[in-house]
Copies of this chain bind each other. A is one copy, B any other.
């Protein structure tokens, strides 16, 4: 997929693109300022489900990024919408930090909802979720990312635990965040642009670039975060461009 003219709006991933853990990617703060001056409308799409949106935005502010809370679309919020729209009463296996956004687990649940509980993924919690799935409850996962990049190395992500529960129970999870189409579509709707008019910047070949590509949104892959050289040789997922980092992506967009 190639860039077809100047984009009218940008979809930007957060972790691995603007920052890695508690550090801004070098040059990314200034690059975001340049983007703001261009007036291009932006939405930030994140599969991070260990933190509530206000904490994600607070971290970005601490690192020097100008990002408004309403510009950030999180897999947690998208999942909350799914739960409300369907009138579900889930059992939640999620990080304690996002209980404020999701609410408490139901005593008699009709679904199992998984977020990235991180260290709170214990055997007992996984087993409780497993037993509910064995009773036939559906499994809804906020995301199924394989890993994310921390400053000290890669960290196993929610996707591993989704795979664990799917394998043990014989269930297939419904994924709400990237690469699910409705998540990207919600961002396009907020921005008021068509698929071919938007451009995505991400570090996750499968969930960012692949998810966008499936919808006809071209993607720029950055060589930061969880990027691996093998990503450039994937047989099916083809970024419109691969650049060193967010600053290079912004330069390519503003100067092409």
Contact = CB atoms under 8 A, between A and B. Distances in A.
A167 B117 CA distance: 17
Interface string A174-195: 0000000000000000000000
A246 interface: no
A108 interface: no
Q: How many copies does the complex hold?
A: 2
Interface residues of A, number: 32
Q: Is the interface of A mostly helix, strand, loop or mixed?
A: helix
A136 to B, nearest CB: 12
A130 B134 CA distance: 27
A165 B153 CA distance: 16
B154 A159 contact: no
Interface of A: 117-124, 126-127, 130-131, 134, 146-147, 153-157, 159-170
18 contacts: A117-B123, A119-B122, A121-B123, A122-B122, A126-B160, A127-B155, A127-B156, A130-B155, A130-B156, A131-B154, A146-B169, A156-B164, A156-B165, A157-B168, A159-B167, A160-B164, A161-B164, A163-B164
